[in-house]
């Protein structure tokens, strides 16, 4: 390994990091870390720190680090055939096997899976397919997409537009005009504090209906949403939300895209978030948990209803004009097959449900009563703690106080990685699905200590 100083210098001089303050990084003013290894829920860095990764990378290393089963599958695939494309009917044993494994696990109305590389490109694929679908059905006006404020769907041109977070729009000339945002189903952050949860759901529904009315249902093609809001703050939906929203979508013949990049393959204690909340999606986006990030791979799972129209489209127009060089990359597919087998053999979906319930309760018991903890929420192995200056009237801290980042830094001192979610003073946890009770307890203890250090 190169000497530490030399690597740091090369990093500052050459490496354009995503989601980073570029100027501060280049000047060496912001923290950086060079990661060298990992096993189970832990990562190691070049300075010899061993850190409990309470966010599984970017909620993606679901089986945990260092799994030889996946490493060996990747190596074997690389030796046998590192690459061949999937265009015009080509495939490999790994890509064909993985598509069957995905469909075997998906809701029963699903028909086919298209493989991409990451969540953003999968959602780009989805929107193109939705537009194609409505063109084939002779409804060229029905093209707008409804997304939610605080939703996260990627950072491409279309997907950055779907993402309902200002930081992904500002100075990028986004969102594109075809995207319309509606209310975030975030009960804790409701405008009217007197609203009950049921009244808040009714409010979300009426806002959606008003948007559809304003735009015209015949101009709206699809609604996209994460079963649980992720990057927007790890917010499970209020009770009855998905049932009520889907009624509106059905009434207006609007397709439902469930973005399961985070929730797919077990994070909520069910194989898909759609199973968890009774979402009947027309298209499901998958990525992260598909390979546990051992290799880049994403997918768009297409329902029978949409697939039939796509087939009709190619009968009328010839082969579909959509594809990436690396679609269904054999190494990604081999990682996916080994990963899904490991999720089964380690019983990780079940562990996510049981350990998630334990972890969320332990967190709420340990810190929920603190004067500045406004909300402790979660589902499966997602957990968030949101901080307020004054609990009685839910006054948020001024963002300049950087309470969230201070807490994340305090956790890091205790060798625990958590994510200071950017949309408020929110500390998010999404550990690998193999989390044990001892590891859950140690995160909770570190969180309680960190709160004491930063907020008293
Ligand atoms: N959709 C959701 C729900 C996500 O959380 C993410 C990434 O965090 C994406 C899409 C984009 O995935 P990627 O970063 O792989 O492009």
Q: Within this chain, do residues 237 and 327 fall inside the same structural domain, yes or no?
A: yes
264 lines ligand 1 (CB under 6 A): no
Q: Within this chain, do residues 287 and 380 fall inside the same structural domain, yes or no?
A: no
Output the CA 155–ligand 1 centroid distance in Å.
Answer: 8
Output the CA 159–ligand 1 centroid distance in Å.
Answer: 9
Output the CA 361–ligand 1 centroid distance in Å.
Answer: 27
Indicate whether 409 belongs to any domain: yes
Indicate whether 3 belongs to any domain: no
Average pLDDT of the residues of the chain:
97
What is the structure's pLDDT at 196?
A: 98
What is the position in ligand 1's atom list of the atom closest to the CA of 156?
16
Phi then psi dihedrals of residue 43, to 5 deg: -120, 160
Whole-angstrom distance, CA of residue 240 vs CA of residue 199: 11
- Give Dmax over CA atoms of the chain in angstroms: 68
Q: How many CB atoms lie within 10 A of CB 441?
A: 14
408 lines ligand 1 (CB under 6 A): no
What is the position in ligand 1's atom list of the atom closest to the CA of 230?
5
Indicate whether 213 belongs to any domain: yes
Region 296-304: mean pLDDT is: 98
Region 215-230: mean pLDDT is: 98
Q: Within this chain, do residues 46 and 76 fall inside the same structural domain, yes or no?
A: no
Region 288-301: mean pLDDT is: 98
What is the position in ligand 1's atom list of the atom closest to the CA of 60?
8
230 lines ligand 1 (CB under 6 A): yes
The first and second tokens of residue 147, run together, are 């997304």
Whole-angstrom distance, CA of residue 178 vs CA of residue 282: 20
DSSP helix/strand/coil, 329: coil
Number of structural domains in the chain: 2
Alpha helices for 172-259 (secondary structure H): 197-215, 241-251
Whole-angstrom distance, CA of residue 3 vs CA of residue 253: 60
Asked if residue 36 lies in contact with residue 44, where contact means CB atoms within 8 angstroms, the answer is yes
Q: How many CB atoms lie within 10 A of CB 31?
A: 8
Q: Within this chain, do residues 375 and 405 fall inside the same structural domain, yes or no?
A: yes
Whole-angstrom distance, CA of residue 356 vs CA of residue 310: 39
Confidence of residue 31 (pLDDT cuts 50, 70, 90): confident
Which one-letter DSSP state was computed for residue 398? P
Indicate whether 40 belongs to any domain: yes
Whole-angstrom distance, CA of residue 418 vs CA of residue 218: 43
Indicate whether 2 belongs to any domain: no
3-class secondary structure per residue, 60-85: CCCCCECCHHHHHHHHHHHHHCCCCC
What is the position in ligand 1's atom list of the atom closest to the CA of 154?
11
What is the structure's pLDDT at 422?
A: 87
Strand partners, 144: 220
419 lines ligand 1 (CB under 6 A): no
53 lines ligand 1 (CB under 6 A): no
Output the CA 103–ligand 1 centroid distance in Å.
Answer: 21
Instruction: Express each pLDDT in 375-389 by its tens digit.
Output: 999 999 999 999 999
Asked whether the CA dihedral 257, 262, 266, 267 is positive or negative, the reply is negative
Percent of the chain residues topping a pLDDT of 70:
99
**Burial of residue 384, with CB atoms counted within 10 A of its CB: 0-12 exposed, 13-18 middle, 19 or more buried:** buried
Q: How many CB atoms lie within 10 A of CB 69?
A: 16
Phi then psi dihedrals of residue 258, to 5 deg: -95, 115
Strand partners, 181: 147
Confidence of residue 351 (pLDDT cuts 50, 70, 90): very high
ipTM of predicted assembly, 2 dp: 0.99
Which one-letter DSSP state was computed for residue 194? T
Residues 6+ apart with CB under 8 A from 321: none
Output the CA 88–ligand 1 centroid distance in Å.
Answer: 28
What is the structure's pLDDT at 1?
A: 55
Which helix (H) or strand (E) covers residue 17, if one does? none
Indicate whether 153 belongs to any domain: yes
What is the structure's pLDDT at 106?
A: 98
Q: Where are the beta strands (DSSP E) in 6-73?
A: 35-39, 42-45, 50-53
Residues 6+ apart with CB under 8 A from 371: 391, 455
Q: Within this chain, do residues 352 and 337 fall inside the same structural domain, yes or no?
A: no
The first and second tokens of residue 348, run together, are 């990780």
The first and second tokens of residue 93, run together, are 């044993």
User: Would you say residue 2 has pLDDT above 70?
Assistant: no
Q: How many CB atoms lie within 10 A of CB 258?
A: 27
Q: Within this chain, do residues 125 and 163 fall inside the same structural domain, yes or no?
A: yes
For 274, half-sphere exposure in the C-beta direction (CA atoms, 13 angstrom radius) is 26
Q: Within this chain, do residues 308 and 412 fall inside the same structural domain, yes or no?
A: no
For 123, half-sphere exposure in the C-beta direction (CA atoms, 13 angstrom radius) is 29
Question: Of the residues 164, 261, 299, which should be mutated to test ligand 1's pocket, given the most ligand atoms within 8 Å of the CB?
Answer: 261
> Which residue, of 326, 346, 366, is where some domain finishes?
346
User: Would you say residue 3 has pLDDT above 70?
Assistant: no
186 lines ligand 1 (CB under 6 A): no
> Which residue, of 329, 346, 363, is where some domain finishes?
346
Output the CA 371–ligand 1 centroid distance in Å.
Answer: 34
Percent of the chain residues topping a pLDDT of 90:
97
What is the structure's pLDDT at 32?
A: 87
User: Would you say residue 299 has pLDDT above 90?
Assistant: yes
Indicate whether 5 belongs to any domain: no
Burial 385-420 (b: 16+ CB within 10 A, else e): bbbbbeeeeeebbeeeeebbebbbebbbebebbbbb
Output the CA 409–ligand 1 centroid distance in Å.
Answer: 24
For the domain that residue 191 is a member of, what is the CATH number?
3.40.640.10
Question: For ligand 1, atom 13, which residue shows the shortest CA distance?
Answer: 119
User: Would you say residue 5 has pLDDT above 80?
Assistant: no
> Which residue, of 321, 346, 371, is where some domain finishes?
346
231 lines ligand 1 (CB under 6 A): yes
Output the CA 208–ligand 1 centroid distance in Å.
Answer: 24
Instruction: Express each pLDDT in 114-162 by its tens digit.
Output: 999 999 999 999 999 999 999 999 999 999 999 999 999 999 999 999 9
Q: Within this chain, do residues 322 and 373 fall inside the same structural domain, yes or no?
A: no
Region 230-256: mean pLDDT is: 98
Alpha helices for 67-184 (secondary structure H): 68-80, 93-105, 119-136, 157-162
Whole-angstrom distance, CA of residue 261 vs CA of residue 165: 17
| Complete DSSP assignment for 375-392 | EEEEETTEEEEEE-SBTT
Whole-angstrom distance, CA of residue 157 vs CA of residue 1: 38
Q: Within this chain, do residues 89 and 188 fall inside the same structural domain, yes or no?
A: yes
Instruction: Express each pLDDT in 38-79 by its tens digit.
Output: 999 999 999 999 999 999 999 999 999 999 999 999 999 999
Region 231-243: mean pLDDT is: 98
Output the CA 153–ligand 1 centroid distance in Å.
Answer: 5
381 lines ligand 1 (CB under 6 A): no
For the domain that residue 399 is a member of, what is the CATH number?
3.90.1150.10
- Segments forming the whole domain that contains residue 318: 70-346
Q: Which of 117, 421, 143 is nearest to 285 (CA)?
A: 117
What is the position in ligand 1's atom list of the atom closest to the CA of 117?
15
Q: Within this chain, do residues 172 and 46 fall inside the same structural domain, yes or no?
A: no
Q: Within this chain, do residues 393 and 444 fall inside the same structural domain, yes or no?
A: yes
Whole-angstrom distance, CA of residue 360 vs CA of residue 366: 10
Q: Which of 257, 254, 307 is nearest to 114 (CA)?
A: 307
Indicate whether 221 belongs to any domain: yes
Output the CA 148–ligand 1 centroid distance in Å.
Answer: 15
CA distances from 65 to 293, 310, 330, 400 (A): 10, 39, 21, 35
Q: Within this chain, do residues 130 and 190 fall inside the same structural domain, yes or no?
A: yes
């Amino acid at each position: 390994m190169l000497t530490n100083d030399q690597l740091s210098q090369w990093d500052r001089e050459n490496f354009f990091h995503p989601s980073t303050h570029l100027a501060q990084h280049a000047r060496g003013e912001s923290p950086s870390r060079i990661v060298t290894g990992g096993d189970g829920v832990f990562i190691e860095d070049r300075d010899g720190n061993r850190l409990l990764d309470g966010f599984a990378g970017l909620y993606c290393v679901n089986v945990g680090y260092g799994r030889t089963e996946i490493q060996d599958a990747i190596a074997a695939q690389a030796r046998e055939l590192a690459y061949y494309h999937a265009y015009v009917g080509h495939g490999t044993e790994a890509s064909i096997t993985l598509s069957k494994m995905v469909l075997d696990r998906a809701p029963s109305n699903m028909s086919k899976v298209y493989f991409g590389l990451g969540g953003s490109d999968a959602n780009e694929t989805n929107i193109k397919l939705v537009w194609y679908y409505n063109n084939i059905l002779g409804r060229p006006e029905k093209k707008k997409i409804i997304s939610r404020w605080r939703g996260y769907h990627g950072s491409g041109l279309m997907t950055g537009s779907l993402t309902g977070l200002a930081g992904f729009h500002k100075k990028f000339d986004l969102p594109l005009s075809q995207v319309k945002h509606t209310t975030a189903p975030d009960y804790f952050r409701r405008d009217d504090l007197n609203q009950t949860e049921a009244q808040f759901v009714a409010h979300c529904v009426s806002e959606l209906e008003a948007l559809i009315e304003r735009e015209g249902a015949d101009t709206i093609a699809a609604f996209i949403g994460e079963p649980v809001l992720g990057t927007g703050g790890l917010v499970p939906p209020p009770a009855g939300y998905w049932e009520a929203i889907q009624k509106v979508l059905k009434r207006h013949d609007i397709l439902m895209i469930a973005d399961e990049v985070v929730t797919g393959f077990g994070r909520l204690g069910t194989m898909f978030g759609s199973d968890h909340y009774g979402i009947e999606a027309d298209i499901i986006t998958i990525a992260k948990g598909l390979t546990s990030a051992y290799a880049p791979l994403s997918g768009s799972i297409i329902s029978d209803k949409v697939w039939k129209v796509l087939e009709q489209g190619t009968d009328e127009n010839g082969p579909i004009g959509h594809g990436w060089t690396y679609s269904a990359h054999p190494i990604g597919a081999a990682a996916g097959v080994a990963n899904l087998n490991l999720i089964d053999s380690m019983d990780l979906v079940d562990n996510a449900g049981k350990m998630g319930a334990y972890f969320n309760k332990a967190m709420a018991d340990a810190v929920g009563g603190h004067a500045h903890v406004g909300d402790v929420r979660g589902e499966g192995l997602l957990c968030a703690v949101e901080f307020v200056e004054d609990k009685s009237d839910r006054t948020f801290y001024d963002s300049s106080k950087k309470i969230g980042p201070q807490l994340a830094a305090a956790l890091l001192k205790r060798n625990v990685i958590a994510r200071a979610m950017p949309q408020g003073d929110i500390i998010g946890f999404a550990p690998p699905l193999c989390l044990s009770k001892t590891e859950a307890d140690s995160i909770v203890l570190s969180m309680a200590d960190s709160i004491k250090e930063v907020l008293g």
